[in-house]
A and B are shown apart, each in its own frame.
Chain A
Amino acid sequence: MTQLENFKHSIQMGLITGAIVLSACLIGIVESFDQRDVISEILSLGQVMLYIAAPIIAFIVAQKQKSVVNRVIHGVLSGAVAAVPTFLLILLSLWWTSIRDAFVNVSPALIEIITVQNPEAPVIGGLTLIALFAGLSLIGIGATFLSKPIRQALMNGLGWTMIVGLMTEILVNVLRPRLSRETMDWLFGRSGINLTPALILVVGLTLYYYWWAQGGKEQSAKFRENLPPPVRTWGGRTLWLLLVPIVMILPSFLGVYLTEILNIVGLYILMGLGLNIAVGLAGLLDLGYVTNFAVGAYLMAIFTSSSEYGLTDPFSFWTALPICILAAMFTGFIFALPVLRMRGDYLAIATMGFGEIIRVLARSDAMAWLIGGAQGILEIPKASIGGSMASIFGSILSPINNFLAQWDLFILQVDGGQIIFGKPPQLFYLVILACLLMLFVSRRLNESATGRRWMAIREDEDVAAAMGINTTNAKVVAFTLSAASGGLAGAIFAAKLGSIYPTSFQLLISINVLSLIIVGGIGSLPGVVVGALALIGIPELLREFAEFRLLFYGVALIVMMLVRPEGLWPSEAQRRELSSDHGNLSQPNATGV
């Protein structure tokens, strides 16, 4: 490349970055994330999102240059150019005073951020922004001189510190009753962590990651291998067993709000595990999964509600639950029959069509006599255990609760001879039980002959049929079993909310569930859990995200497919397949076979 082309390239890259920065400003991300601090009163998430562009693009551009001078020139150039579109926005807002009529998010607050807190002199402020971007790009340029392991360790350290900063509110909630006031004041500011602990965190995490990359991984593996055999096996098992009490006290430890989020995540894990059977194992892209969820929820409502749409003699939650699951399976079966012969994208669109039909029907007057139309069904009782079962549970639970009370902790509580799964900390146990059950079932299915048949169909349907697999039956079974978990989630959902409306059963649910299994790693059970925590949990935690949640979903789906199609936590089979695809022959096969 000639010198001129080099400059053109740097400016081009800068402008592309600038366009992204400008979009982030225009659609309101920068402004609404400015309200959440990463480091108390010094750095907000909005500022991070705005300023991070400069070092990143400077790094990318500078990396291509050899000499130090060129790196600095091109890096600073592209970094500064990245601020130019935003600067133009400032100029535009001066000339076009009613810009907010068109672009609703160009608010005074945004102008204040992009003029670097200098809204009275916007042009000077804008120039400051350009200068700031140029200055920040030096960080990116500096990073090109570091060796790769150090750089990666540093990135990990900064990244995790930022996440900890974002989670401040939760950490404060959890830690306040357990730490002294002085410690809390030292750790956390009014919003976000304080600078000193943040720096300590960055340094510590960076060192840890560096050590881990420079042989720490091998060292710890060797340490584990050198333990005497009984310690090794029993140590591992004890760690797993320790998880049980930790999970049991989780709700009281985390508090009502976080437990509620965990419950929502749990419901999505349930649905994700179900959909995973169809999409992950059998390779049937089902975009109408919400149907099963709706069937479970509506049947639970009809069987247990004491309103006019319920039975005259309502069932209990526990009687209705198996009916809901069976009904969802039946729906899955019925809907599977006509679409079985389709493949790939046609199947996806047809199932989406089913989902939409169900939603429109649920909302319409035509079905209102049965399921209440747009008004939905109210007065669904909470799930509860009463009678002798409750007293048996009570006699087991109350000593544990009394014991835990000294740390302000508790587990499932028996209240007036009844266990009511109403409040989030109580419902948590129901959700986690359902999740564990489904995890167990999915795991067994994964390893069963049926599971292997599904995987064969996923890889190549014609070959599977040629191998003597009855593909029709296997697919019907996949759809049917996949629906069960959706029905279970729906039933719990109905009992959790106490009232259901057709608006709860949008296509969005199907997309959410599909996204989480893709982001987690198609076909991988831990992937479902990770995906649900990442896609459902994090947006629930960061309420500013709510408005942009689907924007980030979209980005996550695209980026995931482009960069990491195997997902965050891929299944063992996928991992092996992908590593063999890359022709990684120099390293011996990890499984040793």
Chain B
Amino acid sequence: MSQRLNYIDVVLWLLRIGIIGIVLWGTFAKLFLGVGNDYSVGNWIDFFISGLSQGSLYALIALGYTMVYGVLFMINFAHGEFFMAGAMTTTVLVALPLEEAGYINEFPFLSLLAIFITAMLVSVGVALLTERIAYRPLRRAPRLVPLITAIGASFFWQYFFRGLYGSSLVPFPEFDIFDGKYDFGFFDIQKTDVVVLGMSLLMLVGLQLLVQHTKMGLAIRAVAEDKDAATLMGIDVDRTITMTFAVGAAMAGVAGVLFAIVFRQLNFIMGFTPGIKAFTAAVVGGIGSIPGAAIGGLFLGIIEAVGPPLFLEGLGIPGSHQLKDVIAFTMLVLVLIFRPQGIIGEVLSEKKA
């Protein structure tokens, strides 16, 4: 669309130059002028690895956004709540009773299996209910309508689970096998970070195989491409959409348990911020694309972890670690403004523009 007014372009260019200038100046000041704290190489690696582990969590959650967007072109605002529902339920109903019975450290792997499976089942259940009630009847409605019901569903689930399990923080039990760290000389890695990274990688690869090499994956891709043509090919579109929600929610359930393992404090509001961040990750990577979600998640996690000590501290901003959410949200807005198709997603956004 041609624009008669160019002042928007001027503003956008100023914004671009401003942001790049800020980041470059902050980095320069940090690295060469020595503003702020002095970090060793080991510190930087620590930041990087914690960012990587956080980012892989974002990636797992982002898969749900990206898959649903891929087939329905809707932002499933309630996805963060699927994540919370699985983590909360499995912690309260499985993990804590297991801990009380002493099974957690006696049979750690079986306990973990039970915890993961419960989380996935609950997340999937919540997701399917949401899809059935709040999204499916509105599939032909204008695009803003399902966004509004998604916001409604998000609030509903938050306060539903608050009613169920109360508003106080729920502790996740401590696993002995995750205690401690691997020492690499000048830096070390928390065992929990290794678990998160490994598990996320496993799920990502599994999902990629599922989508690329199974009948179900083929159906999902066909529906994402063209619903009507898929129907003509004998694909049950409703069922495929349901499966898409289920797969995305299962990933969110896994991410919820990993989140619980790392942060060990859960409450009903825990899905909101990771949800928004994961959506950012999905957009950054290119919404609709599974590898994009993975790349976007890792990228966001690393920027969030390295950004505050690097360029924000370099600018001499006090309490820069408080601003990591600002970095994430700024990235969200910037990507939406300048590159809505994300890093690798191109085809989809063209189609939907």
Number of interface residues of B (CB under 8 A): 59
Given contacts A365-B319, A518-B148, contact A339 B337 (CB under 8 A): yes
Contacting pair A104 B325 (CB below 8 A): no
Bound Cα distance from A102 to B92, whole angstroms:
6
1/0 per residue B110-153: CB within 8 Å of A? 00000000000000000000000110011001011111110111
| Residues of chain A within 8 A of B152, CB atoms compared | 515, 553-558, 561
Give A346's nearest chain B residue, CB to CB. B336
Judged by a CB distance under 8 angstroms, whether B163 is at the interface is yes
1/0 per residue A91-125: CB within 8 Å of B? 00000000001111100000000000000000000
Interface positions of B from 1 to 41, Cβ below 8 Å from A? 1, 3-5, 7-8, 11-12, 15
| Residues of chain B within 8 A of A338, CB atoms compared | 11-12, 15, 333, 337
| Residues of chain B within 8 A of A353, CB atoms compared | 329-330, 332-333, 336
Which of B134, B141, B165 is A103 in contact with, Cβ under 8 Å?
A: B165
9 additional A-B pairs beyond A342-B340, A364-B322, A365-B319, beta carbons within 8 Å, are: A26-B164, A337-B12, A338-B15, A348-B144, A349-B336, A360-B322, A360-B325, A558-B153, A562-B138
Contacting pair B329 A356 (CB below 8 A): yes
| Residues of chain A within 8 A of B5, CB atoms compared | 470, 472-473
Chain B interface helix/strand/loop/mixed: helix
Contacting pair B151 A511 (CB below 8 A): yes
Bound Cα distance from A245 to B156, whole angstroms:
41
Judged by a CB distance under 8 angstroms, whether A314 is at the interface is no
Contacting pair B165 A102 (CB below 8 A): yes
| Residues of chain A within 8 A of B162, CB atoms compared | 27
Give A344's nearest chain B residue, CB to CB. B143
Mind listing 25 A-B residue pairs with CB under 8 Å?
A: A101-B96, A102-B92, A103-B164, A104-B164, A104-B165, A337-B7, A338-B11, A338-B12, A339-B337, A350-B333, A353-B336, A356-B276, A356-B325, A356-B329, A368-B318, A551-B155, A554-B151, A554-B154, A554-B157, A554-B158, A555-B156, A561-B145, A561-B148, A562-B149, A565-B145
1/0 per residue A322-346: CB within 8 Å of B? 0000000000000001111110111
Judged by a CB distance under 8 angstroms, whether B196 is at the interface is no
Contacting pair B337 A350 (CB below 8 A): yes
1/0 per residue A356-379: CB within 8 Å of B? 110011011110100000000000
Judged by a CB distance under 8 angstroms, whether B317 is at the interface is yes
Interface positions of A from 550 to 588, Cβ below 8 Å from B? 550-551, 553-558, 561-562, 565
Which of B133, B156, B326 is A360 in contact with, Cβ under 8 Å?
A: B326
By size class, the interface of chain A is 35 or more
Contacting pair B156 A342 (CB below 8 A): no
Given contacts A27-B160, A562-B137, contact A553 B323 (CB under 8 A): no
- State how many angstroms separate the Cβ of A434 from the closest Cβ of chain B: 28
Which of A350, A357, A551, A565 is B163 in contact with, Cβ under 8 Å?
A: A551
Bound Cα distance from A470 to B6, whole angstroms:
12
Contacting pair A366 B159 (CB below 8 A): no
Judged by a CB distance under 8 angstroms, whether A503 is at the interface is no
- State how many angstroms separate the Cβ of A302 from the closest Cβ of chain B: 20
CB < 8 Å A-B pair total: 168
Bound Cα distance from A366 to B152, whole angstroms:
33
| Residues of chain B within 8 A of A352, CB atoms compared | 276
Judged by a CB distance under 8 angstroms, whether B320 is at the interface is yes
Contacting pair A554 B156 (CB below 8 A): yes
Interface positions of A from 27 to 52, Cβ below 8 Å from B? 27-29
Interface positions of B from 156 to 193, Cβ below 8 Å from A? 156-160, 162-166
Which of A102, A337, A345 is B75 in contact with, Cβ under 8 Å?
A: A345
Bound Cα distance from A361 to B317, whole angstroms:
11
Which of B148, B276, B317, B323 is A557 in contact with, Cβ under 8 Å?
A: B148
| Residues of chain B within 8 A of A101, CB atoms compared | 96
Bound Cα distance from A511 to B93, whole angstroms:
32
- State how many angstroms separate the Cβ of B153 from the closest Cβ of chain A: 6
| Residues of chain A within 8 A of B155, CB atoms compared | 511, 550-551, 553-554, 557
Give A334's nearest chain B residue, CB to CB. B11
Judged by a CB distance under 8 angstroms, whether A465 is at the interface is yes
Bound Cα distance from A565 to B12, whole angstroms:
36
Bound Cα distance from A350 to B149, whole angstroms:
18
